[in-house]
């Protein structure tokens, strides 16, 4: 184990060192299950689940118990009922196209296999983007994914209600096909043991209480900006045969583009929207994460940085 710097709040481990912390926890995931969790262009294999995600699942399992204990201490101090469980909330942040959704889905599946917290729910923050009409009204159509394109107050209220133990809390749902919020769809969260909140900007601090203040643990999925740019372009090219091929897709007009034409479009979207958002808004939140998963150019996670203080 190497210390990042003397007196640093972080400890940095390479994959071999991190793998040791699995502590013989069995692998509760099959190849078929993993394939179903992988996003487009995400090559994560069972070795990576065993080396990286199992130690993480073990660490979070320990922290759920510790958090519950800390909560009971506070409720006992207040003379309130110590028996109620407060959902443990995990934030997953990182750039567009870095693979956050795959990380969040693998984590959700692994955490749900522990008998002490089987109910794990996952919400993506795209549901809290303003609807297209509102983004147009605010002049934010080219700022989708920037902090100001989200209804941050609703997101904060949603997580607060889940943490307060509300029986049912609804989140709006976003569709990449429609490029908009789906008017009549809701994701209903019913008293989970763990809630994962995944999105570009979940670690953003705010002028007052923000959603990251409610996180018990947070993960930043990280890679070099130029590697993420190439993953974004490759995924855009691949989407022509999948999502863009759907005539209802907002991006359907890209489906027929040649490789060089599609590359130009993807590079334009990257350099005008997603890269500035990464550099200006997302990367500055990285130091706030409890854990940073650092990916190599082949998407494999080769380093882990844990905040220990």
Ligand X SMILES: CC(C)(COP(=O)(O)O)[C@@H](O)C(=O)NCCC(=O)O
Rule CB under 6 A: which residues touch ligand X? 96, 124-126, 144-145, 199-200, 269, 273-274
User: Rounded to a whole number, what is the distance in angstroms from the first to the last CA of the chain?
Assistant: 16
The reply to whether 76 sits in an annotated binding site is no
- State how beta strands 88-94 and 217-222 pair: parallel
List the beta strands (DSSP E) in the chain. 2-3, 10-14, 88-94, 120-124, 169-175, 180-189, 194-198, 217-222, 291-295, 301-307
Give dist(CA 277, CA 147) in Å, integer: 9
Are the beta carbons of 57 and 92 closer than 8 angstroms?
no
CB-nearer residue toward ligand X: 132 or 163: 132
Shortest Å distance, C-beta 100 to ligand ADP: 3
Give dist(CA 116, CA 68) in Å, integer: 12
Q: Which residues pair with 90 in a beta bridge?
A: 196, 217
Copy the structure tokens of residue 45: 């294999």
Shortest Å distance, C-beta 31 to ligand X: 27
Shortest Å distance, C-beta 4 to ligand X: 27
List the beta strands (DSSP E) in 76-161. 88-94, 120-124
Contacted entry of ligand ADP, ligand X, none for residue 93, CB cut-off 5 to 8 Å set by kind? none
DSSP state of 50: I
Q: Is 129 helix (H, G, I), strand (E, B) or coil?
A: strand
The reply to whether 100 sits in an annotated binding site is yes
Q: How many residues bind ligand ADP (CB under 6 A)?
A: 13
Contacted entry of ligand ADP, ligand X, none for residue 125, CB cut-off 5 to 8 Å set by kind? ligand X
Could you give the C-alpha distances from 227 to 70, 287, 301, in angstroms and in order? 40, 20, 13
Give dist(CA 180, CA 241) in Å, integer: 21
CB-nearer residue toward ligand X: 28 or 147: 147
Does 131 sit near ligand ADP (CB under 6 A)? no
The reply to whether 133 sits in an annotated binding site is no
Applying CB under 6 A, the span of 17-25, 78-86, 94-102, 189-197 interacting with ligand ADP comes to: 94-102
Contacted entry of ligand X, ligand ADP, none for residue 54, CB cut-off 5 to 8 Å set by kind? none
Does 217 sit near ligand ADP (CB under 6 A)? no
CB-nearer residue toward ligand X: 96 or 107: 96
The reply to whether 101 sits in an annotated binding site is yes
The reply to whether 83 sits in an annotated binding site is no
> Which residues, 27 to 46, sit near ligand ADP by CB under 6 A?
39-40
Does 101 sit near ligand ADP (CB under 6 A)? yes
Contacted entry of ligand ADP, ligand X, none for residue 214, CB cut-off 5 to 8 Å set by kind? none
CB-nearer residue toward ligand ADP: 40 or 62: 40
The reply to whether 258 sits in an annotated binding site is no
Contacted entry of ligand X, ligand ADP, none for residue 39, CB cut-off 5 to 8 Å set by kind? ligand ADP
The pair phi, psi for residue 293, each rounded to 5°, is -100, 115
Determine what percent of the chain falls in helix, strand and coil, rounding each to the nearest 5: 45, 20, 35
Shortest Å distance, C-beta 224 to ligand X: 18
Residues engaged in binding ligand ADP (CB under 6 A): 39-40, 94, 96-101, 176, 239, 243, 251
The annotated binding site for ATP is made up of 94-101
């Amino acid at each position: 184990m190497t210390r990042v710097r003397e007196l640093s709040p972080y400890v940095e481990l390479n994959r071999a060192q991190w793998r040791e912390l699995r502590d013989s926890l069995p692998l509760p995931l099959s190849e078929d299950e993993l394939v179903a969790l992988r996003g487009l262009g995400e090559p994560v294999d069972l070795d990576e689940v065993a080396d990286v995600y199992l130690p993480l699942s073990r660490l979070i399992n320990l922290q759920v118990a510790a958090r519950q204990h800390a909560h009971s201490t506070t409720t006992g101090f207040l003379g309130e009922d110590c028996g109620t469980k407060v959902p443990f909330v995990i934030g997953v942040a990182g750039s567009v196209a870095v693979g956050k959704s795959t990380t969040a889905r693998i984590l959700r599946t692994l955490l749900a296999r522990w008998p002490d917290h089987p109910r794990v729910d996952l919400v993506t923050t795209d549901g809290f983007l303003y609807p297209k009409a509102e983004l147009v009204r605010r002049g934010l159509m080219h700022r989708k994914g920037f902090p100001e394109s989200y209804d941050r107050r609703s997101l904060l209220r949603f997580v607060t209600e889940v943490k307060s133990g509300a029986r049912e809390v609804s989140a709006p749902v976003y569709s990449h096909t429609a490029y908009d919020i789906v008017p009549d769809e809701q994701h209903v969260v019913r008293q989970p043991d763990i809630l994962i909140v995944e999105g570009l900007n979940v670690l953003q601090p705010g002028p007052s209480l923000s959603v990251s203040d409610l996180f018990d643990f947070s993960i930043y999925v990280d890679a070099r900006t130029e590697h993420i740019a190439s993953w974004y372009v490759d995924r855009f090219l691949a989407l022509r045969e999948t999502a863009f091929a759907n005539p209802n897709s907002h991006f359907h007009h890209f489906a027929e583009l040649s490789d060089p034409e599609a590359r130009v479009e993807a590079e334009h979207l990257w350099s005008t929207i997603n890269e500035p958002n990464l550099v200006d808004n997302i990367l500055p939140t990285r130091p706030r994460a409890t854990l940073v998963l650092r990916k190599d150019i082949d998407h494999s996670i080769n380093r882990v940085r844990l905040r220990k203080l």
